[in-house]
Structures are given as structure tokens and as C-alpha cells.
Amino acid sequence: MAKLHERDKNLPNRLLRWFEGSGRTLPWRQGAPRDPYRVWLSEIMLQQTTVVAVIPYFEKFIKLYPDVYTLANAPKDEVLGHWAGLGYYARARNLHKCAKIIASDFGGIFPKTEAGLKALPGIGPYTAAAISAIAFGQPATVVDGNVERILARLYGVKVPWPKSKKKLYSLAKDLTPEVRPGDYAEALMDLGATICTTTAPDCPACPLQGDCLAFQEGLQTTLPIREHPREKPIRQGIVFWLEDNGQILVQRRPDKGLLGGMLEFPSTPWSQEEISPGAAKPFAPVKTDWHPVAGEVRHTFTHFHLRLKVLKGETKTTGHNGQWLMEKDLMSAGFPTVMKKVAQHVLGEKKI
Ligand code: SF4
């Protein structure tokens, strides 16, 4: 710990004492020190996803792949299929790639340092710091949106986010203790999730209240200030639902890019301009009579909203090199959520 004001010196200890009595019990928090495989798996799953959504996926993965070798040896498509519904599928591809590297090049042992971890697929600065601190007890500075929110309030930082990021990181670095840095990182995560929440901080229950400038100034729900977020753009496209005797044509997306490597129904590119059914036909998998399905499918990705219309056709002949799936097998095929929505939209009340 360096450069701390007098009032901050006991702050990590107070947080740790609170954590001992009030920390969350989570399935990846077993044993001391923590199992690096479990910490890594949970941290990858938690990237841009809530704890509540992650828990069932984590438990499923630990049952299917109890260690890094079983995950590394599983077929990639199987892993992607089990990931379906958790979103941000690049994480699943990188998870599998990383498991293979750890199994083949590192003898099954994760590197301890942030630098070593950051060199692996899917591990950015935050995840590297979290694994290094929680699994290996390294005094790494673990900063995500939750930690930034707590620190902005604690220190009364009024510079709007994201301009304040550098300052908040420097405050976090100064506070990080040499002793029990992993518990400290988990304690901050828990404080952000249960007490110092985004919209309703429970200051009377907060172990840091005595040091909190936002609380003293009545600014706990005002801070952190955010620069006005940009509206997400809307993209649009047309999906081709091709049937042949109870089977539906699907294809795999290219490995790189959005939903890389995942199954999809063929479609036009997704663009900001609306595309008419006539203009969509050159993108169709085959020449046949295409009929519009009423309504549209809506889905929101991190950076844009998507609106999809569907054209339905039927043919036995196709020069298309996709694959045919039985209608009843669609839900278990490992589609990303947006494509499940397409299937539900077309099939309506039918069980899939
Ligand atoms: Fe957050 Fe309130 Fe605690 Fe300050 S006192 S850190 S605003 S919960």
C-alpha cells in the first residue's frame, strides 16, 4: 500500500472484517487459496454478465469439465453449445483456446502474474488482476465498474466517467493491501454488489461510511457522474427460414467477429439501412418462393439493437452448403439467443 492518507490506512482492514461476516457464498469461492481453474472460469463467465446468470452455467461447466484438461479435450462445438444463452460468444471460444494452451504449454498450471495471464486468450487487464489476486494472492489492482463506483463515492470524485478512469485506478492501486489482496478484491466486489449498489446504496450498513465523502456530502446517488451515453444504433436484416420436410437449413458463422463460430439461420448482412424483401433475395440460400413472416425479432447486443424480419421458403433442392437440422432439435443445437428468438418467432407456440 502506498501514498495513503491517514484516514485511509485502516480502510482495507475494515472492509476485510466486514467481508468475513457478510461476504457472499459463491460456487467458485471454495478453499483458501482459491482454485485457479474455478477463479478463471468464473471470471471469464462474469465478464459483462451478472452473478445470478452465471451461477447455473458455472455449475454446469464444473460438472462437465471439472478441470482444465477436461475442458481442453472437449470439442469446441460442444463447449459453445453449453455456453449458449450466456452471450458474448467470443468468450467461449477464447475459454476453450485458453484451456488448450494451459493444458498443452503450461502443464495444466495457470501463470501467477498479471503479465503472464494477460498473454492468454480472453484474459484482459481486469481478469488478469482478479485471477492473480484471488487465486495467487498477488497484490494486483482489481478495478471494474463496481470498484470505480465505490471509489468515486468514497473519494467524492466529481470528474465524469470515463474521464475519471485514470484517477480511480490510481486510488485503487494506493488502497490495495499487500496482505490478503484476494480477499480484499472479493470484498470490494461484494460491497459493490450488495451495499454500494448503482441506484440504492445502503450507506447505514456500509463499513466504509465513516470515510465516504459522497455520504458526507449527500452525493451517494449522484456519484459517479457519467458523460451522456451515446444512443445505441439500430441495425436491420432479413433472415431466411428454409424448410424441407421438417428440417431447417442452418449454417455456421465465420470464426471471427460477432457470434463467431455459432450456428445461425442464413440472413442478409445486418446494416443501418432497412432492406426490402426484394433487395434481400440475392442473399437467399436458394431460389424459391419466399414469403414474409408477420412481425419482427428484436435483440440487443452491447453496441447495437437488432431488428430482424423473416422470409420463409420451402424446397428440397439446395446448392447451399449449410446443414439441415430437425425442427425438434433446434433448441438443443447451441444457437445464440438471437437465433433462438428467430426460431421461437417462426414456430410460435409449437414446442421446439
Ligand atoms: Fe457507498 Fe454509501 Fe458506503 Fe459511501 S457510504 S461507499 S456511498 S454505500
pLDDT value for 87:
81
Q: What are phi and psi of 104, to 5 degrees?
A: -90, -35
pLDDT value for 322:
85
Which of 137-151, 197-211, 248-262 has the least mean pLDDT? 248-262
Asked if the model's pLDDT at residue 3 lies above 80, the reply is: no
Where helices occur in the chain by DSSP H, the ranges are: 11-22, 36-46, 51-64, 68-73, 76-83, 90-105, 114-118, 125-136, 145-154, 165-175, 181-194, 213-217, 277-280, 337-347
Query: Residue 62 C-alpha to ligand 1 middle, in angstroms?
Result: 35
Percent with pLDDT over 70 in the chain: 95
Radius of gyration of the chain (CA): 24
pLDDT value for 1:
43
Q: What confidence category does residue 319 fall into, taking pLDDT thresholds of 50, 70 and 90?
A: low
Q: Would you call 227 a catalytic residue per the annotation? A: no
Residue in this structure with the C-alpha cell 478441470, named with its chain if needed: 67
C-alpha–C-alpha distance, residues 33 and 30, integer Å: 8
Nearest to 265 by CA among 214, 211, 325: 325
Residue 284 cell numbers, joined = 437467399
Per residue in 200-235, pLDDT (tens digit) is 999 999 999 999 999 999 999 999 998 876 789 999
Q: What confidence category does residue 67 fall into, taking pLDDT thresholds of 50, 70 and 90?
A: very high
- The closest residue, in CA terms, to atom 2 on ligand 1 is 203
Write out residues with Cβ below 6 Å of ligand 1.
150, 153-154, 195-196, 201, 203, 206, 208-209, 212, 214-215, 220
Q: What confidence category does residue 115 fall into, taking pLDDT thresholds of 50, 70 and 90?
A: very high
- The closest residue, in CA terms, to atom 5 on ligand 1 is 209
The mean pLDDT value of the chain amounts to 92
Residue 55 cell numbers, joined = 451461477
pLDDT value for 348:
78
Q: Which residues contact 229 (CB under 8 A, 6 or more apart)?
A: none
Residue 72's CB is within 10 A of a number of other CB atoms, namely 19
